[in-house]
Amino acid sequence: MKESFIRTRVANGVGEVQLDRPEALNALNPSMIRDMHAALLQWRTDPSVTAVLVTSRSDRAFCAGGDIKPAREAVLSGAFDAVRESFAAEYRLDELVATYPKPYLAVLDGVTLGGGLGISVHGAVRVVTERASFAMPETALGFIPDVGSSHFLPRLRGTAVRCDAVGMYLGVTGARIGAGDALAVGLATHFVPRDRVDDLVDRIRAGDWQAALDEFVSPAPESELEKRFADIETVFGDGTVDEMLDRLAATDAEIDPEWAERTHAALRAASPTSVRATVELLRRGAESTLEECLARELEVAVRISAVPDFVEGVRAVLVDKDRSPRWSPPRVEEVDPATIAALFG
C-alpha cells in the first residue's frame, strides 16, 4: 500500500484535510493532489459534512508549493504529456477549492508558497498566525506564477487599479510577505496568534467554525507592505518590464532607495524569460475569469517548461541548491518577443 501524505477525518460536520509531509514542508506531490481532490469530491455531496478545514502537521509550513522536481525530470526525459497532466491535476484541485459549495477554511501557520496558495487563497476563510509567510517564487525557478494566481494577484485589495501594482510586484519579484501584509491585500482573511491557533482549530473541529472565529480572531499585525504601496504603484503600476527596471534604477525617483535597490536586484536575479511572461500573464488575467486563467496558465506552464530556464532554475534552487542559475538569455533586454508570444500560442 502506497504511503499517503494527507490525513482526513470527519467529525461534527467538519471534514478535515491534514497535510502530512513535513520533511518536504508539505510540498504537494501527485499523490497528495490526488488524495485531497478525492476527499473534497466525496465531501462535496456528503450531507454529513457542512464545512471543510485544511491544516498542516508541520510546525514550519502550511505548504511550500507544488513539488516541481518531478516535472523537471519529466522535461529532461521528454515526457511532456506527464508534465501537462501533473500541472492539470493541480489546477483541477485549485478550481475545486474555488468553486466549493461549502465553507472552506485553511489555517496557515508557517511558510505558504506557490501551490500552497492554490489550496488556500481560493477558499472562503484563510486564517494566519504571526509565523505565516507568503510568496509566489516561480520567476526564480524559470517558471510562471500559476495555481490561479493570474486571477487573484490582479485582484488584491488595497492595490492600484492600473494592472494591480502590488500583484505585479509580488508576481515578478517573488517577494515574500508576512501575515499583516497578507491580511492587508486580502490573501488572508483572519489573524489568530500562534499561541491560540491550536485552540481555534479544536473549536472548529467541534463544529461551529463561525463561533470559533468570533472568539479567537485578533487585530491584524501591522503591514510593512502597505507602507510600500505608493512606491510599488510608482514602479509597477503600468509600463513594460524595462520601464519598471528604469524606475527602480533612477536616482531622482521619489521612492525609498533601499527598497528600490533590493527590488531591482530581485528583478534582475529572476529568469528574464519568466519575468516577461509573468507580466503578460497577469495583464491577461486581470480581464479573465478564474477558469480562463487556469486554462491559460496550463498552456503557458507546459510551454515554458520546455524553455531552458525552467530546467536550470529548478536545478539551481531545488536540486543542486547553489542559487546560481545561468539564464538564457541572461538579461530581460535580450528576451526575444517572439519567445513570449510563442508561450501564449
DSSP letter, residue 199: H
Task: Indicate the residue type of 179.
Answer: A
User: 281 exposed, middle or buried (CB, 10 Å; 0-12, 13-18, 19+)?
Assistant: buried
Residue 327: partners with Cβ closer than 8 Å, 6 or more residues away: 142, 271, 272, 273, 309, 312, 313
94 within 8 A of 291, measured Cβ to Cβ: no
The residue from 16, 90, 95, 146 that is catalytic is 146
Decide if 115 is catalytic: yes
46 within 8 A of 8, measured Cβ to Cβ: no
Residue 340: partners with Cβ closer than 8 Å, 6 or more residues away: 273, 276, 277, 280
174 within 8 A of 270, measured Cβ to Cβ: yes
The residue from 115, 118, 142, 174 that is catalytic is 115
Decide if 195 is catalytic: no
Decide if 110 is catalytic: no
Cα 141 from Cα 325, distance rounded (Å):
9
The residue from 94, 95, 138, 231 that is catalytic is 138
State the residue for C-alpha cell 491557533: 197
Decide if 66 is catalytic: yes
The residue from 15, 16, 65, 66 that is catalytic is 66
Q: List active site positions.
A: 66, 115, 138, 146
